[in-house]
Structure 1
Amino acid sequence: MQLRKATRKKAKIRLGLSAVSGGGKTYSSILIAKGLCGDLSKVAIIDTENGSADLYAHLGDYNVLPLTAPFTPERYIEAIRSCEAAGMEVIIIDSISHEWDGKGGCLEIVEQLGGKYQDWAKVTPRHQAFLEAILHSSSHVITTVRRKQDYEMVKDGNRIKIEKGGLKEITREGFEYELTINLELDTNHNATASKDRTNLFMGKPAFVPSEKTGEIVAQWCEQGEEQFNVIKPGSDWYQKVDTCGSHKELVELYQKNKPEVDTNPLLQQLIANRRNQLNGKTLSAA
């Protein structure tokens, strides 16, 4: 354990866009992605929205990976890994809502297990592995999420009445806190920041996302010391960990390379991510 001075590192952005249907999530994400890397051929869209990504093909030569039901966390993780292995610089997940509330998503999985509170002990590790695939990706990641009207039960004298309580994101509560930036879009496609670790947009007037937005974010990502080392798909260590199909194999890999792993936080994180993925697969079979 060693104390050190805080140092700004170059980073990969984790940016969220949330809106109601028709709020411009897909279109805005493509524009921001183009600004981020300058080349749409290096952008991939994981499309769960029935082909909506293809509606904007006129914008450029980006890539589309259709994802259909069942929308399990593991299938999302597989899609993210496919994009990374293909060398994509920006991955757009459009949208993450299905992983939570879609056919085969977390809520449905819990119902199939019996719908009891304790069933979440089996599903939460699978959802967490999905989050970690986003947070530890070697690419920039843009997520979109649907928002819907939320309702509250309010006591009025001796009666209970239902009132509108605002808009709520369709994903597990607290997801936006995992992101670097979260932008909320209104029906006119104007964006405001609900969370912003970069301080680029927080407290600023609403704006329409564009390529310039991505360029500004890219500049922020490049400020600081050389980017933290990322163990990318295709690398020797990535392949070693990825081929472990059980906890036993993962432990054996660790034991064989204990001195190297114990001194490398990136390897520790890579092994921890794989352990969570194996937990998900094991619990899925339960």
Structure 2
Amino acid sequence: MSRLNDNPGNRPARQADSDSTDFTFAPATREKAKARLAIMGVSGSGKTWTGLRLTNGLSRRFAVIDTERGAASKYAGINGVTFDTLQLHNYHPQNLISALAAAANAGYEAVLVDSLTHFWSGTEGTLAQVDRAAKSFGGNTFGGWKEGTPLQNAMIDALLSYPGHLVATMRSHTEWSLQTNAKGKKEPVRLGLRPEQRRGVEYEFDVVAQMDTDNTFSVIKSRCPDLHALVLERPDGADIAKTMLAWLDDGATGIDPATYVDRATADDVTFEELGALRQEVDSRGLQSTPFLDPANGTATTLGEYIRARGLALKNATEGSQP
């Protein structure tokens, strides 16, 4: 006998809130997509320059969200790489969401975040938010993570939902290992084994590469077949971008998230239309797309904007009824 429906204590079974979710399956189709790539490595491994060349290869017009005290700008103009930059000194997760929303509003086709590590362990980053929240719970770390986890998740969702190509660098935790060199002698080698970010964050990207102090670029995860297990010494990021674009552009034309933004912000949109739009946006995983609220210029996400505008229209309609 199946026990799937057993309910100890005869308590009412709790039902999932699925009223607004469409569970209809449809044939899978391959659509053109945007790059989601991460480069991790120890200091001096070449992450910033490789990231700049790669992002420039994805789009000639791109922006850099710089947390490395202007490190990226030191490469401006080299090999024709030009870009706009925004330097941040406070790394609250919401600030990255706001920066991405501003970049989307400005129409940048690609963004490089150099580096994502600061939004984890830097000034006012996720760990700082957790520590602050823990103090309000009497030093209870679990209580701190109750506040910090939603901030971190919202930031990663906005990052991966950017309506253009997205490249992020991350510092690696540094460890030393004794290895045999070319002369047969043991020497200490600095290794970066995992990124300084939330554990497992690298798996959120389509392509993840590790760089070492010899500037060797090793792909450790790739959904792009031509980049699988690729190892390059002193890589040319532009060539890597060319390979990625060939893979990303191999598919049917997808829907530009800007189309949904236009529909959501239309002056004559109705409550019913917003409801249908929200279902469509959710089904395509675009609810976390960052953009600036046209009414006040503050950073928001597509899903949150649709929800708030729908609620405002509903309240206005109910308030006008006798």
- TM-score normalised to the size of structure 2? 0.70
**Residue 261 of structure 1 pairs with residue 288 of structure 2:** no
**Residue 23 of structure 1 pairs with residue 45 of structure 2:** yes
Per the alignment, residue 148 of structure 2 pairs with 123
Higher relative contact order (CA 8 A, sep 6+): 1
How far apart, in 2, do the equivalents of 1:190 and 1:197 lie? 20
**Residue 219 of structure 1 pairs with residue 246 of structure 2:** yes
Aligned residues: 248
How far apart, in 1, do the equivalents of 2:38 and 2:110 lie? 13
The correspondence of residues 97-176 of structure 1 with structure 2, limited to 5 A, is 97-113=117-133, 114=135, 115=139, 116-149=141-174, 167-176=193-202
Q: Structure 1's 166 and 76: CA in aligned 2 closer, same or farther, altered over 3 A?
A: closer
Per the alignment, residue 284 of structure 1 pairs with none
How far apart, in 1, do the equivalents of 2:208 and 2:166 lie? 12
How far apart, in 1, do the equivalents of 2:285 and 2:212 lie? 41
Per the alignment, residue 158 of structure 1 pairs with none
Per the alignment, in what secondary structure is the counterpart of residue 99 of structure 2?
helix
Q: Using the TM superposition, give the Cα deviation of residue 259 of structure 1 relative to its aligned residue in structure 2, in angstroms.
A: 3.7
Q: Pick from 279, 301, 304 the counterpart of residue 274 of structure 1.
A: 304
How far apart, in 2, do the equivalents of 1:216 and 1:236 lie? 34
Larger radius of gyration: 2
Q: Using the TM superposition, give the Cα deviation of residue 236 of structure 1 relative to its aligned residue in structure 2, in angstroms.
A: 4.5
CA contact 2:264–2:277 (8 Å) conserved in 1: no
The amino acid of 2:279's aligned partner reads: D
- TM-score normalised to the size of structure 1? 0.78
Per the alignment, in what secondary structure is the counterpart of residue 18 of structure 1?
strand
The amino acid of 2:204's aligned partner reads: E
Per the alignment, residue 203 of structure 1 pairs with 229
Structure 2's unaligned 5+ residue stretches are 1-22, 177-189, 289-300, 309-322
**Residue 10 of structure 1 pairs with residue 10 of structure 2:** no
CA offsets 1:23-52 (integer angstroms, 9 cap, x no match): 111100111112112x2xx11000000010
Q: Using the TM superposition, give the Cα deviation of residue 273 of structure 1 relative to its aligned residue in structure 2, in angstroms.
A: 4.9
Structure 1's unaligned 5+ residue stretches are 152-163, 241-252, 279-286
CA offsets 1:107-133 (integer angstroms, 9 cap, x no match): 111111225112211111111111111
Identical columns (%): 26
How far apart, in 2, do the equivalents of 1:92 and 1:261 lie? 29
Runs of 4+ in 1 over 6 A off after TM superposition: 253-256
How far apart, in 2, do the equivalents of 1:86 and 1:262 lie? 27
CA contact 2:219–2:231 (8 Å) conserved in 1: no
Per the alignment, residue 294 of structure 2 pairs with none
The amino acid of 1:261's aligned partner reads: R
The amino acid of 2:161's aligned partner reads: H
How far apart, in 1, do the equivalents of 2:229 and 2:51 lie? 21
Per the alignment, residue 187 of structure 1 pairs with 213
CA offsets 1:70-124 (integer angstroms, 9 cap, x no match): x101001111111111111110000010110001011111111225112211111
CA contact 1:97–1:145 (8 Å) conserved in 2: yes
Per the alignment, residue 61 of structure 1 pairs with 82
CA contact 1:190–1:209 (8 Å) conserved in 2: no
How far apart, in 2, do the equivalents of 1:150 and 1:189 lie? 17
Q: Structure 1's 239 and 98: CA in aligned 2 closer, same or farther, altered over 3 A?
A: farther
How far apart, in 1, do the equivalents of 2:56 and 2:265 lie? 28
How far apart, in 2, do the equivalents of 1:27 and 1:56 lie? 7
Q: Structure 1's 216 and 238: CA in aligned 2 closer, same or farther, altered over 3 A?
A: farther
Q: Structure 1's 238 and 231: CA in aligned 2 closer, same or farther, altered over 3 A?
A: farther
Q: Using the TM superposition, give the Cα deviation of residue 233 of structure 1 relative to its aligned residue in structure 2, in angstroms.
A: 9.1
Per the alignment, in what secondary structure is the counterpart of residue 54 of structure 2?
helix
Aligned-CA RMSD value: 2.7
